[in-house]
Amino acid sequence: MRSPLKPRPATPQRILLATWGTTGDIAPYTGLATGLSQAGHQVTVVTSRRYAALFREHGLRVRAMPLDEQEAAVGAHKPRRARIENGRDMALTAGKVLLDAAGEGTDVLLTHPLMHPQAAVIGQGLGLPCHGVYTVSHAMMLPRLIAGTPRLRYTAADVLVKRILSPLYAPVTSALRRELGLRRGFTGDALISSARRHTVYYGFGSALLPDRMPLPAAHKTVGVWRPAQPPDWHPDDRLTDFLASGPAPVYFGFGSMGRGHAERLSGIITRTVRRLRIRAVVQNGWADLTGDAEGDGILTIGECPHAWLFPRMTAAVHHAGPGTTHASLRAALPTLPVPFEFDQPFWAARLRSLGLTPAAVPMPRLDSDGLGLALTRLLTDGRYRERTRRIGAMIEQQDGIAGVVRALGRAGPAPSRAQ
């Protein structure tokens, strides 16, 4: 059971929380930032202008990164060199804003993995403790390599992913070191060294992980950071009327995935719903999915907190992002994962390994026939719901926000400044 009151910190601190990514990446950090603030800390969030309102509506101070043009270019079909340059531009902008914000006065840096290299250099230069707050480990991006989770494979996958990403950070880490008067370092190792030196807190449930997951010694699983629900939020009448008009529907949603596949995915959903004669709620997401069809029992919706929506569903079909996966488990909602990329195949494989789903269907192989068969098994076999309920109850026992609050209360002194 989640604690109704967050523990008060021994000494309130000025926390600078840096986060960036997709909507699914950002959502858990709204809960973490709000929880830290409610625990008595003074929290400032560094994030892109796209997501600033998600934090400001909870009374949090925000330093917004002007990344509008670069974010619009993410996912565009451009040459590899152009994509790399776009990533470097974003990293440079993020580093500048983060340094300015840290210079205004802070006691500790908490950082999303995408901003850890910049935060590591800034922490070193300003003599500030820096801790990672992750919802994914880098090694999870290569689930086939870490299958069985032997330590050597996990370490190799972790290093490989960081080596691939490190060139994006070489210009910004070099620039920050010059700005802070630090000795020049090997910038190609930016991601690897930052995560090796610092404690990292993971915002996911340990019950979903393989036994003996070989995380580094300083990396701790603290539990899920439940997204903060927008103040005064309430569902629109169209949604509540639909839910009241018949049996509980199946949820379909792929978050920020599926751009460029909207027509195909929407068609598969509509054909499956018609064939199985079920009702469905389709969350359009970045893919701009549609499913409304007169008489087909399909409703398309926009943003809606999963904590409110999922307990009202009978099953879910989603991309297996960590936030959506944990939300479905907490709601005891049987899930059929359709992973796209990144760490999603890892979480989909975990659902399958734990017997929580009859299949994990990679998006390129998805069709209405296969989806219909797997969804029928999920809906008719009560064992999937019971196993999901059991694992979800275990995940709910871990209060991830309280875990970070407690950890910060035990944090040691800031590291000495290296010249």
Reported as a pLDDT band with limits 50, 70 and 90, residue 261 is: confident
CA-nearest of 329, 261, 221, 305 to 23 is 305
Q: Is the pLDDT of residue 239 over 60?
A: yes
Reply yes or no on whether the pLDDT at 259 is more than 70. no
pLDDT of residue 412: 44
User: Which pLDDT score is estimated for 294?
Assistant: 46
Residue 11 has pLDDT above 90, yes or no: no
Residue 419 has pLDDT above 50, yes or no: no
Q: How does residue 410 score in pLDDT terms, banded at 50, 70 and 90?
A: low
pLDDT for 417 beyond 70: no
With a CB cutoff of 8 Å and minimum separation 6, the contacts of 312 are 243, 248
The half-sphere exposure of 176 on its side-chain side, counting CA atoms within 13 A, is: 32
288 has a pLDDT exceeding 70: no
Do residues 350 and 209 touch, judged by C-beta distance below 8 A?
A: yes
In which band, very low, low, confident or very high, does the pLDDT at 188 lie, cut at 50, 70 and 90? very low
28-84 per-position pLDDT tens digit: 999 999 999 999 999 999 999 999 999 999 999 999 999 988 888 876 667 888 888
- Residue 293's pLDDT is 52
Query: When comparing pLDDT for 196 and 260, which is higher?
Result: 260
Confidence of residue 352 (pLDDT cuts 50, 70, 90): very high
Taken in order of first residue, the domains within the chain and their CATH numbers are 14-224+398-409 (3.40.50.2000), 237-396 (3.40.50.2000)
Q: Considering only 134-138, 187-191, 206-210, 313-317, which range has the smallest mean pLDDT?
A: 187-191
* Residue 274 exposed, middle or buried by CB count within 10 Å (0-12, 13-18, 19+): middle
Q: What predicted TM-score, i.e. pTM, was given to this entire model? A: 0.89
Mean pLDDT across 321-348: 93
Alpha-carbon separation of residue 200 from 134, 250, 376 (angstroms) = 7, 36, 40
Q: Per-residue pLDDT tens for 297-308?
A: 899 998 899 999
At residue 237 the predicted structure's pLDDT band, cuts being 50, 70 and 90, is very high
* pLDDT for residue 331 is more than 60: yes
Q: What percent of the chain has pLDDT over 70?
A: 87
Whether the per-residue pLDDT at 5 is higher than 50: the answer is no
Structure tokens at 51: 């997501």
Residue 274 has pLDDT above 80, yes or no: yes
Cβ count near 130 (within 10 Å):
25
Share of the chain above pLDDT 90, in %: 65
| pLDDT exceeds cutoff 80 at 363 | yes
What value does the mean pLDDT of the chain take? Answer: 87
Find the largest Cα–Cα distance for the chain: 69
pLDDT at 185: 59
* Whether pLDDT at 8 is above 80: no
Confidence (pLDDT) at 211: 81
Helix (H) or strand (E) holding 110, with range, is strand 108-111
Specify burial of residue 341 (Cβ count, 10 A radius: 0-12, 13-18, 19+). Answer: exposed
Residue 88 token pair: 């470097």
Instruction: Kindly tell me if the per-residue pLDDT of 1 is higher than 80.
Output: no
- SS3 state of residue 131: strand
> Of 137 and 415, which is predicted with more confidence?
137
The whole-number pLDDT of residue 220 equals: 92
Write down the pLDDT at residue 295: 55
266 pLDDT more than 90: no
Element (H, E) at 350: helix 344-353
